[in-house]
């Protein structure tokens, strides 16, 4: 497997996934992506061939983001012993030009983390629900449940916003 070519080919999608895994924090996503690339290139993350290379790469990115998040939580619990994490940045640094896009972003933000992840992987990264389950490290049934519930909740939130009541649960 020529990982240099594969990483270059899937860089935009990988950055989008890293951004999702880092709650929109671009600097954090950059760090996570570079660390994930290093893990793949130096062999710390080994591709076994049980999934597509892209699915494998997205799994490495997700696990790297989770490791970074856990270290940040530990640093908050043990101040002075570890390097403190970067301060959170506003998730919506980029101005939203269309109200439809703003509504969608608000509705997506109201979903649970796993629902956001599976919807991102299926709709933005064009993965199947089965492949998304592999990336997320959950069973296919769990991924399908989060996918169905996420779509249903997204429809409800968008309908409520369109109706003008802005009601969220």
**49: its two tokens:** 């061939």
| pLDDT cut 70: percent of the chain above it | 79
Interatomic CA distance for residues 35 and 64, integer angstroms: 7
Q: Are 92 and 114 in contact (CB under 8 A)?
A: no
pLDDT value at residue 87? 47
Interatomic CA distance for residues 97 and 168, integer angstroms: 23
**110: its two tokens:** 């109201």
Confidence band, pLDDT 50/70/90 cuts, at residue 96: very low
Q: Are 64 and 39 in contact (CB under 8 A)?
A: yes
Kindly report the length of the chain.
169
Domains and their CATH numbers in the chain: 1-91 (1.10.1740), 95-169 (1.10.10.10)
pLDDT value at residue 13? 93
Is pLDDT of 24 > 60? yes
Helix (H, G, I), strand (E, B) or coil at 108: helix
Is pLDDT of 68 > 80? yes
Give me the chain's average pLDDT, please: 82
Range name among 33-42, 96-105, 107-116, 144-153 with the lowest pLDDT average: 96-105
Cα–Cα separations (whole angstroms), residue 32 to 25, 96, 97: 11, 25, 28
pTM above 0.75, yes or no: no
């Amino acid at each position: 497997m020529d990982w240099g070519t594969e990483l270059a080919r899937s860089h935009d999608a990988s950055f989008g996934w890293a951004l999702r895994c880092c709650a929109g924090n671009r600097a954090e996503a950059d760090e996570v992506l570079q660390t994930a690339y290093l893990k793949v290139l130096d062999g710390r993350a080994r591709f076994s061939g049980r999934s597509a290379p892209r699915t494998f790469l997205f799994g490495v990115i997700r696990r790297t983001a989770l490791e970074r998040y856990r270290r940040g939580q530990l640093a908050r619990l043990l101040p002075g012993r570890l390097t403190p994490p970067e301060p959170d940045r506003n998730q919506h640094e980029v101005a939203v030009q269309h109200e439809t896009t703003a509504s969608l972003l608000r509705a997506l933000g109201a979903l649970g983390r796993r629902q956001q992840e599976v919807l991102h992987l299926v709709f933005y990264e064009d993965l199947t629900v089965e492949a998304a389950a592999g990336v997320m490290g959950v069973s296919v049934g769990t991924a399908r449940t989060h996918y169905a519930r996420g779509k249903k909740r997204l429809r409800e939130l968008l309908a409520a916003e369109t109706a003008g009541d802005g009601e969220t649960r």
